[in-house]
Structure 1
Amino acid sequence: MESLSRHAASKTCRRCLRSALSSSPYSRTTRSFSQFGSWPASQPGPAGRTKLAAQRTLSSSNVKRSISLFSQKPKVDQDNTRDPPSAPRVLRSDDLFHSFTNSPIPEIRQRAAFIRQHAHCPHPEHRVARAPIEPGNPPVPVSSGNVATAHVDFECPDCGIPIYCSEKHWADNYEEHLQICDTLRQINEDDHDLRSGRFFPEFEYAGPQMEEAVVNMTNWDTFLYTREFEAINDDRSMRQVTRLLTYPLTIGSVLHELSPYNIRKGGRLTPEGLKSLSALRYTLHPPRTGGGIDISGLRPEAPPVRIFILGARAESSLPRNVWVQLAHLFPRGKFHLIFIGPESMTNRDDEFPLPPRTASNPFGAIVEDRVWPNMKISTIVDYYHTLHKTGHFYPYDPYFDCFVMFHPGLGHPASSHEWAETVPQLLETKAPILVTGYTQHDMERDIAWVNKTCRGEFDMLMEPGENIFRSQRWDLNDLDPQDISCGNWGVWAFRGKRFVYHT
């Protein structure tokens, strides 16, 4: 009888099996993405971090968000027959371009007011009134002008974003502005699209993956196709969906056995990286044991792989069905995601107050058990070096532990002091450390800082370079509209040196 059932299962087509899986208690759900509108603003660009540190009272991160990822009810499209007619659509797909100041969306008008109040005109006529971003660099902007610095007030008619203090300065500097004008207009339309109230079919994520169906991780298109996502035929929809999926996919693309990063020429993986990642891949792709549900079928199982996401900010408030996509890539692996950082509760106002610190929960961790049958998520609002000193997570094992830092700003003057104590502790664990950067400059600055502070104490696991699964959507820094970046643009990896040779 058992053989007949196995035979029947093997003859079931993939579409039927997918339909059967979607009827389970863990079936995928479609949520309107309009509730995530305020999320990208919580992670400013690398240049914005210095200004945020210098102007704590002016920082957009100190303004209470009007939208929470878990409290805002989804807005739906009235024109779509699948949605209730109670929530009318605000903007049509052919009416997404509006100037920030005259936008029909109140949140975007508030954002325009914030930019006008804090951003400075980049025209070279203005007198230097700001310190250099990094010691030794020339002041920004580089200028010998005699005009006092001024806040932006004029909106470019082509991109609709306040960018210069006057129309005259915009016209004088028009050729330089053209280099980013198209990107700024794209950001403008994407922001309006998020809040348009339309139905977002691109966020109907794929369910569990059949083990017999191989995932192709060459790029975004091949991944979405082999994972059987709904077809995304619009560039804007692709930008919106990659803005969220870049976080789990950046981790999964490095740890997966079919990773596009390998030791072959151009694969960017080093011999030491192959050793470290092979250990994790062995754990995440365990061989079949022949175990069953009865007593005779019990088999010993490895503990879950702990992924420590340090300095967590907005990624900790991602919808959980986004992080579940990481579990789908490893059907027989088990995960414990641990978000650690003083800002790890950003945009999670509904979960306050935090749990009390007790003997059984000494750091007041918020534990979300059974997010998926093989995934658990914990959030700790504290610095990692504080936890490391207590031995709370000890012992560490390179087969079961991995550290991830999304845009940590290791080398940024405003945040490097926060990592000075943490990074040497990470090297002691000998576990892989994955790091991403907003831009190439941001990534190279982090690497230079690690080389300076930990020279000779670490091995490079993956050479720095552009992340295959970076976000395709660009973000704008409200404190400096000239500063545009995208989530997880670059990725590299390192770990503590296992053997130290003395000469």
Structure 2
Amino acid sequence: MASNTVCHRCLRAAVSLARSSQSASTASRRTFTSSSATRPSRRRSIHQAAASRAPAVEAARVSEPSLPYQDVRGRQSDKDAAAQRQPNRILLQPNNLFHSYTHSPAPEIRKRAAFMRQNAYCPHPDHQPTRAPVSPDDLEARKTGAMPPRHVSYECPDCGIPVSCSEEHFVDDYSSHLEICDTLRQINEDDHDLLSGRFFPEFEYPGPQIDEAQVNMTNWDTMLYSREFNAVNEARPMRQVTRLLTYPATIASVLHELSPYSLKDRILPEGLRSLSALRYTLHPPRTGAGIDIKGLRPNPPPVRLFILGARAESSLPREVWIQLAHLFPRATFHLIFIGPESMSNRDDEFPLPPRTPSNPFGAIVEDRLGGQMKISTYVEYFHTLHNAQHFYPYDPYFDCFMLFHPGLGHPASSHEWAETLPQLLETKVPIICTGYTEFDMQRDIAWVKEQARGEADLLMRPGENRFRSLRWDLNDLDPGDVSCGNWGVWAFRGKRYEADEYRGKQQEGTTGWEK
């Protein structure tokens, strides 16, 4: 059953994920070194429980400020400081969530609007381009005019987000903005909902699954129902809860024996071979173990999930990642977050541990997570750890790589994966990847196919992820760019050569790359 309290870390993680997605499709979409330097950061507050939360009161009427969120010297206003000293104060009611970003009752959103006004450029075609377009749908590709670039300053009255440099350009390009205006308004309301101060029953997570109750992994609704989550009967709470759970649910949906993906749905024969090995370990048969001497049985090692290029996912509340262990009750996990930005949004854990002979790479180890899960974080590149044989040997029965929005083929981040990809293929271990859009996935697949030079097998065809985030995210550096976490999923691994009986020429396209 679910606990009686709500973890405030889940709420803060949802806000952090919404803010960290601001560089979703820019040049720093998934680069390891540049994305966190351009975002405003804030320290976490102390983890508090909500059991003693006071009953909801009427929202205080907040007048629109006549001045921006900060003055010229960058000092915070007294009103904002008082709001931060009252974290449990109800700011907004469910029927009053739409507000202008610039005049928002929430200080965090006003600060975000100021960031957009200082960094985002007007997408009107009359302006000169400021960067190279990264996709066919990028609004930057339309810019062919001679006007100098200008930052956004005019807010759309329908979505409340700064989208143009002036009202004239907004009216002139209104037809293009109308395509995403409804989505931007939904993002606006979802952001204000996270900071409204309401009680969040959707962030209550259930405990272990009983053996008699099977989990239905068909989609979000069946999974949440069969896992005995609190009923989510509205679209907005559903979007909020899936924004966090999409990371463990995406992994489980591919590795679980009741996975919705099969040979009839995107899994290739080579993929079934690799996944069957992992599923054999994740769903072991009952051994009749007991508490006495006769009941002693050897336990298999934990399944290692290497999450490369970790950033926002490494800062998720551990209650979210423990849901992965509840979906595999007879298996143990060792989550390994690797990447120079794997400690983003974890300022309360700095400074990092020293590098000693027993801990040569300064790993942050969390081993008190209920007995089924252990988490290690390495602020380092994977190829450095691989060259040192830190995780050697790799076993396809116990190891799996997970890449959330890696940007393998992105022009700004592909060079950082050039040295890592051959090492991943060398392990012969399944590599699961997600992408923001269809174009993002196809660009990654084309880059892997080109770099691998025939030494990679496609395990799972690319397509929409059934457990993608239902919440849309806004790119603060480009208000016209919206995306959702883990929209698509696909998988590959290094090609394995095994002696087999010759049965004739292999038919073209059976490997899945050509389709």
TM-score (norm. length: structure 2): 0.86
The equivalent residue for 1:8 is none
CA contact (8 A) 1:45 1:483 kept: no
Please state whether the residue corresponding to 1:436 is helix, strand or coil: strand
Q: Distance in 2 between matches of 1:86 and 1:273?
A: 48
Cα 1:347–1:50 change in 2 (3 A) is closer
Question: Which one-letter code corresponds to 2:186 in the other structure?
Answer: Q
Matched, 1:186 2:186: yes
Matched, 1:253 2:253: yes
Cα 1:96–1:165 change in 2 (3 A) is same
The equivalent residue for 1:218 is 218
The equivalent residue for 1:445 is 443
Q: Distance in 2 between matches of 1:116 and 1:475?
A: 18
Q: Map of 1:103-252 to 2, 5 A cutoff?
A: 103-133=104-134, 140-252=140-252
Please state whether the residue corresponding to 1:140 is helix, strand or coil: helix
CA contact (8 A) 1:216 1:258 kept: yes
Cα displacement (A) at 1:154 = 0.3
Cα 1:100–1:78 change in 2 (3 A) is farther
Please state whether the residue corresponding to 1:371 is helix, strand or coil: coil
Count of aligned residue pairs for this structure pair: 470
Cα displacement (A) at 1:95 = 0.9
Cα displacement (A) at 1:48 = 1.9
Q: Does 141-150 or 361-370 show the bigger shift? A: 141-150
Q: Distance in 1 between matches of 2:138 and 2:464?
A: 28
Please state whether the residue corresponding to 1:482 is helix, strand or coil: strand
The equivalent residue for 2:19 is 41
Q: Map of 1:363-382 to 2, 5 A cutoff?
A: 363-382=361-380
Encode CA deviations 1:45-79: one digit per residue, 9 max, x unaligned.
442234897995xx6644452242x7465789743
The equivalent residue for 1:330 is 328
Cα 1:180–1:287 change in 2 (3 A) is same
Cα 1:335–1:103 change in 2 (3 A) is same
Q: Distance in 2 between matches of 1:215 and 1:51?
A: 34
CA contact (8 A) 2:183 2:472 kept: yes
Cα 1:138–1:479 change in 2 (3 A) is closer
Q: Distance in 1 between matches of 2:269 and 2:32?
A: 42
Q: Distance in 2 between matches of 1:179 and 1:425?
A: 42
Please state whether the residue corresponding to 2:368 is helix, strand or coil: strand
Q: Distance in 2 between matches of 1:108 and 1:340?
A: 30
Cα 1:73–1:110 change in 2 (3 A) is farther
Q: Distance in 2 between matches of 1:470 and 1:53?
A: 22
Cα displacement (A) at 1:146 = 2.7
Q: Map of 1:333-348 to 2, 5 A cutoff?
A: 333-348=331-346
The equivalent residue for 1:490 is 488
The equivalent residue for 2:513 is none
> Alignment partner for residue 383 of structure 1, among 381, 389, 400?
381
For structure 1, the 5+ residue unaligned runs are 1-17
Matched, 1:276 2:274: yes
Cα displacement (A) at 1:458 = 0.6
Q: Distance in 2 between matches of 1:138 and 1:188?
A: 21
For structure 2, the 5+ residue unaligned runs are 58-85, 506-515
Q: Map of 1:390-409 to 2, 5 A cutoff?
A: 390-409=388-407
Q: Distance in 2 between matches of 1:245 and 1:168?
A: 42
The equivalent residue for 1:308 is 306
Question: Which one-letter code corresponds to 1:493 in the other structure?
Answer: A
Matched, 1:65 2:41: yes
TM-score (norm. length: structure 1): 0.88
Cα 1:223–1:488 change in 2 (3 A) is same
Cα 1:172–1:74 change in 2 (3 A) is farther
Identity of aligned residues (%): 65
The equivalent residue for 2:510 is none
Q: Distance in 2 between matches of 1:182 and 1:191?
A: 14
The equivalent residue for 2:7 is 31
Cα displacement (A) at 1:112 = 0.5
The equivalent residue for 2:92 is 91
The equivalent residue for 1:14 is none
CA contact (8 A) 2:30 2:406 kept: no
Q: Does 29-38 or 181-190 show the bigger shift? A: 29-38
Please state whether the residue corresponding to 1:287 is helix, strand or coil: coil
Cα displacement (A) at 1:356 = 1.0
> Alignment partner for residue 460 of structure 1, among 458, 464, 471?
458
